[in-house]
Structure 1
């Protein structure tokens, strides 16, 4: 890192470490304002800024109010998160900064003794996880989500097949491999400019984590069916389900945010999908939903959640969430699941999913629903995946984690309405 890159990184961190906005939004805005920054400059700034987020517990232990000392925070990120030797950056340092970094390295044992600094998790999240997990499990989780995520993509089966696309990517020197569980997925170890790639532009490829692809597979949509994606967002799973149906049948993609649905529409066109009807709703109680009561073959509820399974990609999220925000989400999830269940026809399927690792948002939410809705029963996810020839057994629920499965953290329960 050179002096100019360090100055830019410090300016980014001054804003990013207030945690008032998503970190990727802060970074994107900064790069828009500084259009002359080259590709290597952007890489150095982004990697160091995200290293600061991933090692924020240690940095905030060593620095009071890191956002007010962003240059030191950037230097600490280089040493703690990017394996930079102090000697490599000595020309950038004044005497005080040299002493600060020396003291930082000397505190290695102290950092490993505290669970929050060793796992790089804020105290509120450590306390939440301690209700369910051992210290070893918390530490393993913290370490697994403190690694950068690879780029997973899905082959759109309307336009291509994985066994044809994978060799093309490998021939282009992309470090590409087939995902182990999803038959649609390809994992890129080295990120490429996918949004400019011919196979992305023509709709053959979509960015989608393998865990998210598995949720679509659990929906199990068939041609000619009526499907509801209750919280569609920008539509990654909607598109996967649409391809699964080969454009036959009808998908209703609902969301409360018009902006998210607006992002879905060009993706539908690019993917060649014509069986998706997207519609903004005011809430889960919107009267427009009622017309589908008891008519849907399958309903997917990808519920609003804490997002704590996505911390590899969004390391700032653990500082923008709290025990209070999680508590507020629980009632919202319960209400949405209750409303969505009314759309499922007899023998129809209801899939409840989150990208959270917290049992309160996952298993406990499903258990509460089943206690209130005896007309539904749980379908064993392990058996369902086995029937799809997917060699993955996480028990009656789908539970994915970054350390074991190399996906984002996902949870899913498959429920079926009785006759």
Structure 2
């Protein structure tokens, strides 16, 4: 590998992160945060590192399209070489403040240190040829391929979305995905009002505006909220606006017994707990992975709602073996899913998933709903939510569940505000371009009788 002199070089660090992410070794946001905390980078270099990693991930198919003809003879190119080229082409095409000579020099130095003179020569030759030839035209591509390359989204996702919402809406969704994600917090309304917290944050130098999606949400336009006294003291917590729609849709009342079947890291769990304020209500928070329960407990402690939450390491599909029938008035299944609603925040997801993954996930999602259904009290609500945007994991899962469990019927998913952009029907379906949030799906199912008639 490279010598130690590259340890605080933002391009080298970006390449290392890309190597891990694109080889399935972690999520970009987590690896970036780890790198920033461990390396001594200037503020400018931190910004460059973040820009490079997200930029390459957001535009990977575009960058590969530009590089393709220069790498046709390189059948077994190592992944770090590919990523160094992608980083360089990203800077050339998308960043106008960095001169080509600086890009070439940095890339060649890194290549020489890791792979020797031969690899450095290859990198230099490819970049110089690209500079000389100009950018490859996209005019010969079909509309589907053109959108896939320009938006850098695999064709199967585009075709699925087109079938669901039409071509025009698909273009809008994909165009919105390469905008930077907004940083949003949910205000802990048991401690402070959103208006009061906004005033306090502005006084501390933050730029803040209210959410259009949730009355308890604030958007942080400028400032590091996690380091603030307000976050540390539990006056707010990080949560995407669309996920703030889940707790209100549960229609929680004080004193209720609630099951959160897939709870970690606890953003929705702690939100639900705020509705139990000063009551005997209880939330049982399950997660398959025991270490993740610690995150729920930490969040609950910081926000001052720990007395309402009990955590348990359990696969939600085994819930029927642990709890009595009809023992919960509310159950939330925030199901494991493909995460395709998070493409703005986790751009690499688009390359890791395949259409077949959706079918496998849908089986797990349905199995969890089936397992917890007997635990819902009569007139109780089973709420199903995902952070994805395609029907096989959403509407189709709900339809299959209702067919097998006729004692449940769908009821309108309640929101605090009338959200004009949301594609409701019987569900809440929020797309990433509607409010520049994560994509999200919510369905509310009410148990009308105790009889289970399986067809």
Q: Give TM-score, length-normalised by structure 1.
A: 0.90
Q: In structure 2, do the counterparts of structure 1 residues 170 and 89 end up closer, same or farther at CA, with 3 Å as the change threshold? A: farther
Mapping 1:2-401, distance limit 5 Å: 4-31=9-36, 35-63=39-67, 64=71, 67-81=80-94, 83-84=95-96, 88-93=99-104, 96=125, 97-101=127-131, 103=133, 105-107=135-137, 109=139, 114-190=146-222, 192-248=223-279, 249-273=281-305, 274-286=307-319, 289-291=322-324, 293-381=325-413, 384-385=414-415, 388-392=416-420, 394-395=423-424, 396-401=426-431
Tell me how far apart the structure 2 counterparts of residues 104 and 148 of structure 1 sit (CA, whole Å). 28
Tell me how far apart the structure 2 counterparts of residues 330 and 104 of structure 1 sit (CA, whole Å). 45
**Secondary structure of 2:135's aligned partner:** helix
Q: In structure 2, do the counterparts of structure 1 residues 341 and 204 end up closer, same or farther at CA, with 3 Å as the change threshold? A: same
Tell me how far apart the structure 1 counterparts of residues 59 and 302 of structure 2 sit (CA, whole Å). 39
Is this contact kept in 2: 1:308–1:356, CA < 8 A?
A: yes
- The unaligned stretches of length 5 or more in structure 1 are none
Which of 448, 451, 454 is 1:418 aligned to?
448
In the TM superposition, residue 101 of structure 1 has moved relative to its aligned partner by: 4.5
Q: In structure 2, do the counterparts of structure 1 residues 153 and 31 end up closer, same or farther at CA, with 3 Å as the change threshold? A: closer
Tell me how far apart the structure 2 counterparts of residues 26 and 77 of structure 1 sit (CA, whole Å). 20
Q: In structure 2, do the counterparts of structure 1 residues 80 and 150 end up closer, same or farther at CA, with 3 Å as the change threshold? A: farther
Structure with higher Rg: it is: 2
In the TM superposition, residue 108 of structure 1 has moved relative to its aligned partner by: 5.6
Is this contact kept in 1: 2:61–2:153, CA < 8 A?
A: yes
In the TM superposition, residue 394 of structure 1 has moved relative to its aligned partner by: 2.9
Is this contact kept in 1: 2:17–2:28, CA < 8 A?
A: no
Q: In structure 2, do the counterparts of structure 1 residues 363 and 261 end up closer, same or farther at CA, with 3 Å as the change threshold? A: same
Alignment correspondent of 1:409: 439
Is this contact kept in 2: 1:10–1:73, CA < 8 A?
A: no
Q: Which stretch of the first structure deviates more once superposed, 232-241 or 323-332?
A: 323-332
In the TM superposition, residue 154 of structure 1 has moved relative to its aligned partner by: 0.6
Tell me how far apart the structure 1 counterparts of residues 400 and 17 of structure 2 sit (CA, whole Å). 43
Tell me how far apart the structure 2 counterparts of residues 23 and 11 of structure 1 sit (CA, whole Å). 11
In the TM superposition, residue 411 of structure 1 has moved relative to its aligned partner by: 0.3
Residue by residue over 1:184-228, the C-alpha shift from the partner in whole angstroms, topping out at 9 and shown as x without a partner, is 1001123x3222110101100100111111111111211111111
RMSD across aligned C-alpha pairs, in angstroms? 2.4
In the TM superposition, residue 356 of structure 1 has moved relative to its aligned partner by: 0.5
